[in-house]
Structure 1
Amino acid sequence: MQLTGSRLIVRPVAPDDEREFLSAARASEEFHRPYAFLPLDEKEFADYLRRFDQVQAHGFVLRLLGSDELVGYINISHIIRGSYQRGTLGYGVFLPHHRRGYMTEGLRLVIRHAFETLSLHRLEAEIQPGNKPSLRLVRLLGFEREGLARGLIRIEGEWRDHERWALGHDV
């Protein structure tokens, strides 16, 4: 499976991505904190890959058309079927590729895939209130704010609030 945009290819993350993914994650570690914590070594990457069972979770990498350079990642996790048909988005861009519109393009491709191929009815994003770039991105993509979840996720030993955003398909 591969999704192709005007500047990007989006495909499932694979073992062959390990070296470049880890290098990009290490170089971008401070940029992502305290909002995202990516694998930084081989064991963590193996654990990361195991999460994506293609049933309850799908993981993708974003690569530039032409050069195949890794620019980011997108995950759909916590997929619930039955009467819910929903999943939760996680995403991030690697330095130096931020503020170039790659995540917007990549998310549009993955959102279409989630609704049309995976037959999800709803995608959710849980974003810390201080993560202004991510909040701007979900607004741009048409997500609607549904409220604030206090102490939703424990990060570095602290329970952190998250804004809850959602996008529905054919609502």
Structure 2
Amino acid sequence: MSRHWPVRLTGETPTGVGLVLRPLRRRDKGELLELRRQDADWLRPWDPTTPPGGGPRQDAVSDFRAYRRGLEAAARSGSTLPLLITSEGRIIGQISANTIVHGAFRSCSIGYWVASRMAGRWVAPTAVAMLGDHLLDPDGRALHRIQLDVRPENEASLRVVRKLGMRDEGRRAAYLHIDGDWREHLSFALVAEDLGPGGLQMRVSRAYQQSRARHTGGSAGP
């Protein structure tokens, strides 16, 4: 599946924020590290960590060069699709399709983070929708299923899966090592057959219209 790399996806949130999802570049180091530093407290409760005995974890902070090369290699192998979330040329987050499996399963798990300054502007659901539409489209990677795993305490990400209309597939005890310990997660998923015209991005647009209608007391339309 390396012929699908590199990938560049463009879209716009319902609030008018233009988004570009693109690969990490060498010259992104300073901007990405500064954003991670500024938002360290914001991100820490949801960041993956390495369990005892799991070996060293490569990340942008500890070794940017190895981190970028690792992402590039995984992308070319087809096991991961890692992208920056940018707006107006600035980095505002990251999103990736992880553990991509083909064959009879044709599934992946999506993870993301978004800068605190962009909270509430529908960046996360739109970015997930953009990546999901690409992955489930026959012209993309032609996967059949995408999954998001969310800690029960993560209200912001629970709102994301609701905006996307994802199916609740239950609780996973001690599922992922997050913020220094094994944490329970809720799993949500969609399969290609769930999508109607317009795909996930249309779902996000409808969710936004409904949200606006609830706040204004008007009608969201058909």
Q: TM-score, normalised by structure 1?
A: 0.90
Matched-pair contact (CA < 8 Å) for 1:11–1:62: yes
Amino acid paired to 1:81: H
Matches within 5 A, 1:6-155: 6=12, 7-37=18-48, 39=59, 41=61, 43-44=63-64, 46-47=66-67, 49-52=69-72, 53-54=74-75, 55-64=78-87, 67-116=88-137, 117-155=140-178
Aligned amino acid, residue 14 of structure 1 = R
Percent sequence identity is 25
Inter-CA distance 43–151: structure 2 relative to 1 (3 Å threshold): same
Query: How far has the Cα of 1:107 moved from its partner?
Result: 1.6
| Greater fraction of residues in helix | 2
User: Alpha-carbon deviations, 1:26-68, whole Å to 9, x = none?
Assistant: 111110121125945250563255145221001111111xx30
Q: Report the counterpart of residue 193 of structure 2 in structure 1.
A: 170
Q: Aligned partners of 2:35 and 2:136: how far apart in 1?
A: 29
Structure-2 change in CA distance of 1:94 and 1:168 (3 Å):
same
TM normalised by structure 2 equals 0.70
Q: Which runs of 5 or more structure 2 residues have no equivalent in the other structure?
A: 1-6, 13-17, 50-58, 195-222
Q: Deviations over 1:116-151 (max 9, x none)?
A: 101111011111110010011011112111000011
Where does the alignment leave 5 or more consecutive residues of structure 1 unmatched?
none
The AA in structure 2 aligned to 1:30 is D
SS of equivalent to 1:33: helix
**Computing the radius of gyration over CA atoms, which structure comes out larger, 1 or 2?**
2
Provide the C-alpha distance between the structure 1 equivalents of 2:33 and 2:80, rounded to a whole number of angstroms: 20
The CA distance in 1 between the partners of 2:64 and 2:48, in whole Å, is 11
Partner of 1:5: 11
Q: Structure 1 residue runs of 4+, over 3 Å off?
A: 37-40
Distance 1:157 1:25, change over 3 A: closer
